[in-house]
Structure 1
């Protein structure tokens, strides 16, 4: 535990002020109304790289379709991806599915109150394991998400980039130093909520912050610091629009990026003099992808991954989001005729 943290922050006083503020101002979020480990785990997977406002509806639909570990474990991957579609980062859905299968197989569908067991599940890292232990089982364990990282970096006026090994170590050590002896649910919820509502990336509301007396930040908006971002890489994705008797040819993906999802068949390069029907850009990690869709002829034989799909069935299959967007736009233009 770093000595500078002990000297500069009165952890007990900070916790008390933070708890009082949270009881008055904390949002009523659906995953805060339950201590069910499964529901908590679902919310944590969904909230990775996705905003709360987007997750709310998906969370409710998911729990209605897959109410517990056993139900999710028994589902097919196609069903899982279909319910997840629109949230993006589909590896999260596949990992959640695998995690449910492991809980069903190893623990009879009941996740144990054991940090090591939780951390061993597919797709569960240090943060998610701590969050489930804290929010489901009320364990006093440290967690660091983007909101908490920002709060701690400002409390310490931390100049070290938080995405370096040393910066991450300081964040986790501080989070542990601030923990109460017991009852991690309230403390971690409050710390996270402070970052979401007041200690925001831009225009933080320092004047009404309940722990401003403990904050050393001289220029809050400049924190946390991070390493320079990699340059955006431009990619071209050329695809075929192939129709026959009102049906569209689709291709199921086998690669790691969109494995299990359907999309328009890939063209190695645009066919000479082919008609360009549609083109738009979409982001993917540090890439900017230009999706171009060309009118094309049906192949003589289909690959095992290809299938003719009626437009009326489009909503029932799991499509990669950019390709769903392209199909909807072209269908609206009567491109199936």
Structure 2
């Protein structure tokens, strides 16, 4: 086949024919031609943002077992949602998930709308997620563009504009190819082609159903696309984080503010995350908030814990200490929890890493 700009109908037919044979079997996905459950589509799409398919699978199943429909999720306490979400990261998604469930239950009688405008009005749903729900769950010919589809379209047309500036251009090209027939299957087919064939490195062009239309394949420079802007150097923030243990073995944790990074999640008390590290003695004074340092004994400094967020690196210096007596330390919003019960609280991955660092070094 000659390499050319693909006619929409021919291109989509090739994509859908391939999908009917090669579609991935995923927990949230209906078989080709079946009617998908909008609740499943919404839940999976929120979970899949910034997260891999392999990671999401078990979480998706657990959420469905616990909250089989949007009305039951709406009735759940936020803390239950956050606890079940722990480990998936980007915790604002979990807070918005709960808000969206409540909105759908109250304002839409527990039924997801299929209209793009109504979907965009729901908490936590942006243009991509709205398009995905509308196309996959309701068969609307909306243009769905995730990271995999960005890669396919940028190679198909050899788009030289760097990402993220190229997103608008990529979406315009993708819209020209989106069919009115089976738009949901078509979108999922492109996702699958991107995930298994049109790979970032060593793409499997010999088995691609649309390589005959691909300009990058014709010029053998597939890996040059999509073009990406140079990465900015991430700054590093630092803080001292405390593992304070009572004589009965329980450890102090507190809830973070609802807004911001890890909002609403539980954490071990720490100093502010800042560019400059805080000396241990000053950090203890910050923790005690004017209470006498004699409250603590056996203070020990442990190996730093490093974690990377989207916009910065974080280096936490764990400091462990024993409380002299059970009820002498008062910190706003803090509770005492047995380490064996951490799974029952919304502790993010970062805090699990801190706990592991302290417990492992304490036992060695």
Q: What SS is found at the alignment partner of 2:264?
A: coil
256, 267, 286: which one aligns with 1:263: 267
221, 224, 244: which one aligns with 2:223: 221
**Conserved? CA contact 1:270–1:294, under 8 Å:** no
338, 343, 353: which one aligns with 1:310: 338
Distance apart, 1:333 and its partner CA? 5.0
Distance 1:23 1:267 in 2: 54
Query: Residues 229-270 of structure 1, C-alpha deviation per residue, up to 9 Å, x if partnerless?
Result: 111211112111211121101121114111211111113634
Distance 1:181 1:247 in 2: 59
Partner of 1:22: 19
Partner of 2:170: 171
Query: Residues 262-312 of structure 1, C-alpha deviation per residue, up to 9 Å, x if partnerless?
Result: 111113634239521231211111312112101236595423311111223
Q: What SS is found at the alignment partner of 2:141?
A: coil
Distance 1:238 1:271 in 2: 7
Distance apart, 1:73 and its partner CA? 0.8
**Conserved? CA contact 2:75–2:102, under 8 Å:** yes
Partner of 1:8: 5
Partner of 1:251: 254
Distance 1:258 1:305 in 2: 16
Partner of 1:3: none
81-90 or 315-324, larger mean C-alpha shift: 315-324
Query: Residues 17-51 of structure 1, C-alpha deviation per residue, up to 9 Å, x if partnerless?
Result: 11111111111111112611111100000000101
**Conserved? CA contact 1:278–1:294, under 8 Å:** no
Distance 2:279 2:242 in 1: 9
Distance 2:29 2:271 in 1: 46
Matched, 1:55 2:59: no
Distance 2:11 2:81 in 1: 42
Q: What is the alpha-carbon root mean square deviation over aligned residues?
A: 1.8
Gaps of 5+ in 1: 1-6
TM-score normalised by the chain length of structure 1:
0.92
301, 304, 321: which one aligns with 1:279: 304
Matched, 1:146 2:147: yes
Partner of 2:232: 230
Distance 2:52 2:111 in 1: 28
Partner of 1:205: 204
**Conserved? CA contact 2:18–2:209, under 8 Å:** yes
Distance 1:30 1:53 in 2: 11
Distance 1:323 1:188 in 2: 37
Distance 2:184 2:174 in 1: 13
TM-score normalised by the chain length of structure 2:
0.85
Distance apart, 1:151 and its partner CA? 0.2
Gaps of 5+ in 2: 273-277, 283-298
Q: What SS is found at the alignment partner of 2:304?
A: strand
**Conserved? CA contact 1:135–1:184, under 8 Å:** yes
32, 47, 53: which one aligns with 2:29: 32
Q: What SS is found at the alignment partner of 1:221?
A: helix
Distance 2:106 2:360 in 1: 46
**Conserved? CA contact 2:320–2:358, under 8 Å:** no
Distance 1:332 1:162 in 2: 42
